[in-house]
Structure 1
Amino acid sequence: MAELHELSALEQAAAVRSRTVSPVELVDHHLDRISRLDGLLHAFVTLTPELAREQAKEAEQAVMGTPAEELPPLHGVPTAIKDLSITRDAPTAFGSGALVGFRSPLDADVVTALRRAGLISLGKTATPEFGLTAHSATDLGAEPRTPWNLGYSAGGSSGGAGSAVAGGLVPIAQGSDAGGSIRIPASVCGLVGMKPSWGRESSGPTPPDPAQLAVRGVLTRTVRDTAAGLDALVAYKSGGLAPLPRPAGSYLAEADRDPGRLRIGRFTAAPNGAAVDPECVRAVDVATELLVAAGHVVEEIETPSGPALTELFVKVWALKAAGAPVPAGKESLLRPVTRMLRERGAGISGVEAFALLAAMQGQARAVIDRTAGYDLVLCPTLALPPRPEGWFTESGDPAEEFERTMQFVAFTPLQNVTGQPAMSLPAHWTPEGLPVGVQLVGRVGDEATLISVAAQVEAGSGWAARRADLPEH
């Protein structure tokens, strides 16, 4: 029989509804794993065990007094919240020493949505300062590790979330993605990580992102769990001023739908010109074979953008850093890379910023036009396999640290700029046993097709059953 932590989020929810297991048992089981394994993984920055157990008892009472079909879809299942998402019941430091101890009077909409779906948060997961880098090392704790090799980084900025799910500390965890921050840890932790379309889910109650880059989602071990997570987010509140059309049913139902024979374009050259590791190209080859076996047509295409878009993105990223909510007098507590980016952003005038955003949106339009003839696009998630712990920061030079970030994430910012939905799927493991993901990219607003095809790839690959071999302390 499978251990509780080996069950998917939907399998855990089904067990709760059938009264095979109680929410209290699930929460206690996962808290026990955290107590034994998080010293190796470094996924959590804050734990809320008392609150989680209290909510689990309430969830257990609801099971006893509510028909199973009326329970929320993920009722009683443990989760975790990224430290960039504000929460009333736990501090939110945004990965920064300048904001240690900050407590919000409000919950982020994503937190409310997941709670309404029945999920119980066990705490907050690690993220780099303001989510600005592709690793999750901070001044608040050790860098989160991928469970596939504890000497390697879990990526970022949702690195703690990726480490927690891959390590079986929770079956589903909240993440956010403004330049790849869900898809990066998904790739290096062997998980499913989807960035929804811009405007699909709500960023409230915090101010919206004027660059229209950041979205919120979940990291999971299966496509079905990811679809259920998206259902939870959109059921609570839409994210767009002009709501995006949704499927007639649920996103979860799309995982069981045959999408028909589709035309898929693929490219493997990095938009920013970075060298792409052969293992990352091999992952695309593996995914291509699976897609063709499922009946789709896969065609080689030119990389739909070039270094000009990356240069615009980097400048806008500096603007985002400059706008981070740093309390007065605490600038000296920031990490060197954060201070560097904020200085760059502060040097951009309002007129130039306006022009940068317009130019970036113009580039996005061109990319969408170039790929409009394809139902989906396939490419690497990252230009490099997982990086050793400390690789990003080993030089001590913040400029080099950020340069390595952009080398690593050569593919992921493109979809944030265009607003397209994109999903990283496990596709390949290196000879050393490290996971390498691939990206499927959909048309704006079409998460449904993305989920349907991703479910086919998952079914044809068998990777959903693979587990990292962690030492059981």
Structure 2
Amino acid sequence: MTALHEFTALELHQLLQRREISPVELAASYLERIERLDPEIGAFATVTPDAALERARFVADHVPTAAPLWGLPLADKDLHRRAGVPARFGSRAFTDFVPDDSDELVQAVDIAGAVSLGKSATPEFGLPSYTESLAAPPTRNPWKPSLGAGGSSGGAAAAVASGMLPFAPGSDGGGSIRIPAAACGLVGVKPSRGRVPAGSGLAGLAGLGVSGPIARNVADAALLLDGLIAPAGYPAAHRFATRAPGDDGPFLGAAIRGEGRFQLGVMIDSPWDDAYEITVAPEAHAALERAIAAFEALGHGVEAMTPVPEPGYPGAFRTIWQAGAATIPVDGEAEALLEPLTRWLLRHGRAVPARQLAEALAWLAGFEERVIRRFAPFDAVLTPALAFAPPRVGWFDQYDGERNFAQQVQFTPFTSFVNVAGLPAITVPVEETSEGVPMGVQLIGRPGGEATLFSLAAQLERRMRRGHRHPPNW
């Protein structure tokens, strides 16, 4: 008999709708798996078995089955508050914080009928691109536990890759969905700015951070994104329900059909090139070349893009990243509880002059326009997902802020600029290296172009026969 965790999220949704399984049965099955596997992986910051089973019973008895995520288990990223559940934000400074109310994204997944099993692990305040907080054991990669799972939605990605969740929401301010998804052999979607009402990016500094799905295949990612966008009963007049131009959801149909022929650009330069030594490793090149060959065989137009230097980008982005850390609600003696990297970011951020911040915001607004104009001839732009395979746990320098920032840029040079431009993007696994580590590619769409990305990703997934890959010994 097939174990429940081996089904895709879409298959589980269908089983629930046919009443072949119940939300309680499904939640109990995943909770048992979490109890057995998570001590080795470290994907969860908090597990809430009693609340989860109570929620599953409530969903079964009181929530309409038409709710888009009815009965499906997931976890809240530990950057998002859920009333009555510890919210530690990956930080020793918030060990005992239990909020009285829930964030909008948490409310949205509840309205959509999902069942939260707890909180997925995140690095301190979601700032780094790896999930190795000093407040908890590191989150390990289910494909090879000596390696990191990426970040900052590393707990979510590790839980999905190891079959402890069918899918999970994450947040992405500079690659925090796509990086761990790529590291763990998953599909990760960063939606257009404004696409997801409860995680739109419109209220954040430079509009960087948005919410989106992490899943084992393209259809599951589309199912979760549809649930985040339009859960049953979600207020139509939401103050951030801005619609990006382009195609509208729901996106599950596009992900299932995988139709169309498109013009693709291939980009291997990054806006960090003038400030850091960026080297795309052979394994990343190999994944990119394999994806190019697949798209060409499918009949898509594929064209190499001419590099365009952007020497102002590194300084402007660093200013915004540091200024964003300035708002961390920790002051005085409590700063000693912060990790060295966080203290470095916070202190530099609080020292940023208003003029420098204003100039950086203006520069990035112009950069956004230039990127959209550069990408305009193409339906989507293809890049490596990561510059090299996920490094071992402990590889990132925890104490030297400058070196740490450089390491993160070198690992993930193709992600942050997509947030600045507000564009949608999806990462898709392509192959494993000789050491059994996943490598993938990123597709970047036009504003509001999620449907095109789902169509392309589904075609690539079918071509690679990777619709339901999972780590060995899971």
TM range (shorter): over 0.9
Paired with 2:122 and 2:283, the residues of 1 have a C-alpha distance of: 26
> In structure 2, what is the equivalent of residue 42 of structure 1?
42
Matches within 5 A, 1:365-444: 365-393=369-397, 396-444=399-447
Matches within 5 A, 1:281-360: 281-304=285-308, 306-327=310-331, 329-360=333-364
Which residue type is aligned with residue 92 of structure 2? G
Deviation of residue 302 (structure 1)? Answer: 2.2
Say whether 1:107 aligns with 2:111: no
Paired with 1:285 and 1:137, the residues of 2 have a C-alpha distance of: 31
> In structure 1, what is the equivalent of residue 256 of structure 2?
256
| Partners of 1:269 and 1:276 within 8 A in 2 | no
* Farther off after superposition, 73-82 or 410-419: 73-82
| Partners of 2:202 and 2:240 within 8 A in 1 | no
Paired with 1:202 and 1:393, the residues of 2 have a C-alpha distance of: 36
Q: Residue 303 and residue 116 in structure 1: after superposition, are their counterparts in 2 closer, same or farther (change >3 A)?
A: farther
Deviation of residue 99 (structure 1)? Answer: 1.7
Paired with 1:31 and 1:470, the residues of 2 have a C-alpha distance of: 19
SS in structure 1 of the partner of residue 383 of structure 2:
strand
> In structure 2, what is the equivalent of residue 56 of structure 1?
56
Paired with 2:239 and 2:466, the residues of 1 have a C-alpha distance of: 32
| Partners of 2:205 and 2:320 within 8 A in 1 | no
Deviation of residue 398 (structure 1)? Answer: 3.1
Deviation of residue 328 (structure 1)? Answer: 5.0
| Partners of 1:147 and 1:470 within 8 A in 2 | no
The answer for unaligned runs of 5 or more in structure 2 is none
SS in structure 2 of the partner of residue 211 of structure 1:
helix
Say whether 1:27 aligns with 2:27: yes
Paired with 2:255 and 2:58, the residues of 1 have a C-alpha distance of: 31
Residues matched between the structures, number? 465
Q: 2:215 aligns with which of 197, 206, 220?
A: 220
The answer for unaligned runs of 5 or more in structure 1 is none
Which residue type is aligned with residue 82 of structure 1? K
Q: Residue 227 and residue 218 in structure 1: after superposition, are their counterparts in 2 closer, same or farther (change >3 A)?
A: same
Say whether 1:275 aligns with 2:270: no
Q: 2:161 aligns with which of 157, 166, 171?
A: 166
Say whether 1:193 aligns with 2:188: yes
| Partners of 2:130 and 2:154 within 8 A in 1 | yes
Q: Residue 411 and residue 308 in structure 1: after superposition, are their counterparts in 2 closer, same or farther (change >3 A)?
A: same
Q: Residue 466 and residue 204 in structure 1: after superposition, are their counterparts in 2 closer, same or farther (change >3 A)?
A: closer
Q: Residue 49 and residue 328 in structure 1: after superposition, are their counterparts in 2 closer, same or farther (change >3 A)?
A: farther
Paired with 2:335 and 2:81, the residues of 1 have a C-alpha distance of: 21
Deviation of residue 224 (structure 1)? Answer: 1.0
Deviation of residue 106 (structure 1)? Answer: 2.5
Paired with 2:195 and 2:143, the residues of 1 have a C-alpha distance of: 32
> In structure 2, what is the equivalent of residue 178 of structure 1?
173
TM-score w.r.t. length of structure 1: 0.94
Say whether 1:155 aligns with 2:150: yes
Matches within 5 A, 1:133-148: 133-148=128-143
Say whether 1:210 aligns with 2:214: no
Kindly provide the CA deviation profile for residues 317-343 of structure 1, in whole angstroms up to 9, marking residues without a partner as x: 011111222255411110000111112
Paired with 2:239 and 2:315, the residues of 1 have a C-alpha distance of: 28
Runs of 4+ in 1 over 6 A off after TM superposition: 204-207
> In structure 2, what is the equivalent of residue 2 of structure 1?
2
Which residue type is aligned with residue 37 of structure 2? L
Paired with 1:144 and 1:307, the residues of 2 have a C-alpha distance of: 34
How many percent identity over aligned positions? 42
Deviation of residue 467 (structure 1)? Answer: 1.2
Paired with 1:242 and 1:380, the residues of 2 have a C-alpha distance of: 30
Deviation of residue 202 (structure 1)? Answer: 2.7
Kindly provide the CA deviation profile for residues 32-59 of structure 1, in whole angstroms up to 9, marking residues without a partner as x: 1111110111000111110101111223
Q: Residue 461 and residue 183 in structure 1: after superposition, are their counterparts in 2 closer, same or farther (change >3 A)?
A: same
Q: Residue 147 and residue 307 in structure 1: after superposition, are their counterparts in 2 closer, same or farther (change >3 A)?
A: farther
Paired with 2:109 and 2:449, the residues of 1 have a C-alpha distance of: 22
Paired with 2:146 and 2:223, the residues of 1 have a C-alpha distance of: 32
Kindly provide the CA deviation profile for residues 226-284 of structure 1, in whole angstroms up to 9, marking residues without a partner as x: 11111111113667464335746511112134542211000223331211111111111
| Partners of 1:228 and 1:252 within 8 A in 2 | yes
Which residue type is aligned with residue 356 of structure 1? A
Matches within 5 A, 1:62-141: 62=62, 70-141=65-136
> In structure 2, what is the equivalent of residue 468 of structure 1?
471
Deviation of residue 387 (structure 1)? Answer: 0.7
SS in structure 2 of the partner of residue 406 of structure 1:
helix
Deviation of residue 158 (structure 1)? Answer: 0.4
| Partners of 2:226 and 2:249 within 8 A in 1 | no
* Farther off after superposition, 163-172 or 292-301: 292-301
* Farther off after superposition, 148-157 or 325-334: 325-334
Deviation of residue 388 (structure 1)? Answer: 0.5
SS in structure 2 of the partner of residue 282 of structure 1:
helix
TM-score w.r.t. length of structure 2: 0.93
| Partners of 2:245 and 2:447 within 8 A in 1 | no
